């Protein structure tokens, strides 16, 4: 009986993976994007075209204030463009309702921020498990969520003894790796990292990026990596420089 159930679960997981790989031919497609904060205000971000293929990694760089964060908000479906279209995994964000975008983000996107990524009052393990609470889809894909969370933490070089520790007790480097584990659990289709290494020193930056990219590769996730430091571009498949008011 239990064996039959496990078979059924496996079939279901394979089905989900099959559908996902079909959908994820193009991870992100942006056309003629324009964004301004106020309808009569200046254009803050202008992006004629951007395509990220499924499983590929994109490096986004540019000085502060050129709209990198705005672009991430747009891809995350938290902001709406004034003009142009953004489609993520073949779905047009503009055609979804706010609640649909929220659950779409929960299901398919994983985020890592610059620092203070973790919810301070939760344990390390609970922080990693958070996406599975918001998204059934990701919980299903993770399978045994507890085991998967511990596997990811181990893969990201974290001591298993830290799993039950409060998030605030970790060092910045450890916190970033926990954040990476959280972003990767349940194999989201797209991993978005906003300056995740700027709080780390140079040798650990490269190590972190390598670890992140190899785990994202193992999960089959596309990666959008934002940094103001163009030297990091060598690690990625494609790279895009944003300049003030427009993108080159």
Partner 1 sequence: MKALLRLAVMSAWNRRLDGFALSVSGTDLIVGGRAHPLQLVLYAVFHLGDAPPMMRWESCERLAGDPAVAWHIPLALGDSHHGYPVVGTTADYFAHFQYGDRQALRLAEGRPFSGLFEAVVGAELAAHMGYRLGQSIELSHGEGEIHGMDHDDKPFTVVGILAPTGTAVDRSVQVPIQSIEALHLDWLGGVRAPGFSIPADQVSKFDLTPKAINACLLGLHQRGAVFGVQRRINAWADELLTAVMPGVALDQLWQTVGGAERALQALSWLVLAVGLGGLMAVMLAGLNERRREMAILRSLGAGPRHLLGLLMLESLGVSALGALLGLLLVTLLTFFGGELLAAYGLAALPLTVNDSEMQLLGLVLVSGLLVSLLPAWRAYRLSLADGLIPRL
Label residue 162 exposed, middle or buried (CB < 10 Å: 0-12, 13-18, 19+): middle
What is residue 198's DSSP assignment?
A: T
- Adjacent-strand bridge partners of 57: 223
Question: 16, 130, 162, 211: which one contacts partner 1 (CB under 8 A)?
Answer: 130
- Report the 10 Å Cβ neighbour count for 11: 10
Residues in the chain: 248
134 lies in the site for partner 1, by CB under 8 A: yes
- Adjacent-strand bridge partners of 61: 227, 241
User: Binding string, 91-120, against partner 1, x = CB under 8 A?
Assistant: -------xx--xx-xxx-x-x-x--xxxxx
Nearest distance, CB of residue 177 and partner 1, angstroms:
16
- In 117-244, DSSP assigns E strands to 190-194, 222-227, 238-243
Range 50-79, binding partner 1 (CB under 8 A)? 69, 72-73, 76, 78-79
20 lies in the site for partner 1, by CB under 8 A: no
Question: 57, 135, 175, 221: which one contacts partner 1 (CB under 8 A)?
Answer: 135
Q: Which residues bind partner 1 (CB under 8 A)?
A: 69, 72-73, 76, 78-79, 98-99, 102-103, 105-107, 109, 111, 113, 116-120, 130-131, 134-135, 194
């Amino acid at each position: 009986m239990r064996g039959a159930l496990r078979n059924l679960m496996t079939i279901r997981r394979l089905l989900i993976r099959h559908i996902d790989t079909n959908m994820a031919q193009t991870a992100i497609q942006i056309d003629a994007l324009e964004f301004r904060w106020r309808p009569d205000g200046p254009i803050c971000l202008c992006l004629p075209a951007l395509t990220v293929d499924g499983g590929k990694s994109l490096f986004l760089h540019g000085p502060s204030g050129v709209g990198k964060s705005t672009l991430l908000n747009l891809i995350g479906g938290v902001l709406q463009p004034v003009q142009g279209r953004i489609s993520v995994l073949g779905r047009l964000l503009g055609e979804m309702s706010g609640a649909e975008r929220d659950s779409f983000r929960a299901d398919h996107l994983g985020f890592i921020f610059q620092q203070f990524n973790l919810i301070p009052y939760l344990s390390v393990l609970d922080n990693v498990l958070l996406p599975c609470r918001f998204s059934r889809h990701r919980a299903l894909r993770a399978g045994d969520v507890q085991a998967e969370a511990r596997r990811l933490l181990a893969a990201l070089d974290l001591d298993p003894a830290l799993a039950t520790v409060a998030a605030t007790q970790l060092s910045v480097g450890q916190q970033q790796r926990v954040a990476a584990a959280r972003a990767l659990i349940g194999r989201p289709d797209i991993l978005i990292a906003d300056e995740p290494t700027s709080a780390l020193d140079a040798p650990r930056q490269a190590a972190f990026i390598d670890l992140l990219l190899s785990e994202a590769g193992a999960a089959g996730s596309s990666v959008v990596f934002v940094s103001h430091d163009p030297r990091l571009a060598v690690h990625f498949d494609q790279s895009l420089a944003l300049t003030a008011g427009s993108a080159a």
